[in-house]
Amino acid sequence: MQKSKVGIDFSKVEYARSIAGEIAGNVQTFVEQYTTVAVERTLCRLIGIDGVDGNAVPLPNVLVDHLKDRNVLGHGALFFLANGMVATGKTPQEIAESIALGETDLTSYPFCSSQVVADMLAPLITAGMQKIADNRKRRENYINTLGEGPKPYLYVIVATGNIYEDVIQAQAAARQGADIIAVIRTTGQSLLDYVPFGATTEGFGGTFATQENFRIMRKALDEVGEEVGRYIRLCNYCSGLCMPEIAVMGALEGLDVMLNDALYGILFRDINMQRTLVDQYMSRVINGFAGVIINTGEDNYLTTADAVEEAHTVLASDLINEQLALTAGLPAEQMGLGHAFEMDPMLENGFLFELAQAQMTREIFPKAPLKYMPPTKF
């Protein structure tokens, strides 16, 4: 039996875990009954649909909205794409471009059997998954050959709004010892129901999360990693309305860490909780397969609540997030759970409270790469 340094009764921990498991199970029962526009766009991106139409609307949005307007999205975008591929001989990208031009009604083609649909989609899905698997192998090879910095990892934020300026700052930070570069998203992107396309040079309080921006920063960190002789991880954000889309884009471009918690959008952005919990599940399935560490959002709770009075909410969230992540196939080693504590210099023994909170979280989640947010009230 594990002996606690802070007096934890582990029988109570296991009871709490069982309750968290029941909560997660009830959520999952709901999640498995539904899809969302973001989930369907994610699948379109996985099989290679990219780019924008003449009005700069992303083609995954064009295609999914086309099906949504015809009240058939619940049958799945890939089902209709497969029917269209059989009927026309076109690729998914070509079909999406044709829809954008108003030339195609994807619901007009004869329905194929489930086997024909599966056979048509299999090579496309396999190719997308293989690219993600190759990125995971690339990361592992870098770590095995270059090595990495000592733990705990040093986490540095860049947020200029211009991806090319971010690159300069990120490489400078890596040369000074940073192990993880987090590119903060521009203010409000979590409320955009689409993912902008291409490299971006304007953002407020951060830089747009786009697939091209991911590619640019990944390349820059690989270059500086080879220069300094250690692998540099890349972090971004897939919370918000496009949670699974940004997750798959990050997986396709070799990101290592994603902030990935539906509660952030529910509590702070008033995002529909049913939709975002479905999206969270899909995004965590992707991150699990990609070997991406997720950071959960417990630190947000204590930005609007007393850190001492409400400290228990952090642990409760950790326990539920753990169970939801396990349900999505994400192992404990990829759960960046929070133990944030908003320190007040006027609070007697405040540092000891923080130290005890950190030790408690480490003992309850021994495999998790815990996320530490530094004190802010100074």
H or E, element range at 237 = strand 233-237
- Rounded Cα distance, 158 and 183, in Å: 5
- Neighbouring CB atoms inside 10 A of 71's CB total 9
- Rounded Cα distance, 95 and 223, in Å: 37
Does the annotation count 371 as an active-site position?
yes
Amino acid identity of 98? Answer: S
Alpha-carbon distances of 307 from 111, 267, 320, rounded to whole Å: 56, 17, 19
Alpha-carbon distances of 166 from 148, 198, 370, rounded to whole Å: 22, 15, 25
Of the candidates 357, 340, 329, the residue with the CA atom closest to the CA atom of residue 296: 340
Q: Which of 179, 299, 301, 318 is catalytic?
A: 299
- Rounded Cα distance, 274 and 279, in Å: 9
Q: Which of 264, 281, 301, 318 is catalytic?
A: 264
Does the annotation count 299 as an active-site position?
yes
Does the annotation count 264 as an active-site position?
yes
Long-range contacts at 108-111 (CB < 8 A, ≥ 24 apart): 109/80, 109/83, 109/84, 110/83, 111/83
Contact 123, 41 (CB under 8 A): no
- Secondary structure in 3-state letters for 330-364: CCHHHEECECCCCCCCCCCCHHHHHHHHHHHHHHH
- Rounded Cα distance, 316 and 334, in Å: 19
Q: At what angle do helices 311-327 and 273-290 cross, to 10 degrees?
A: 60
Enzyme catalytic residues: 264, 299, 371
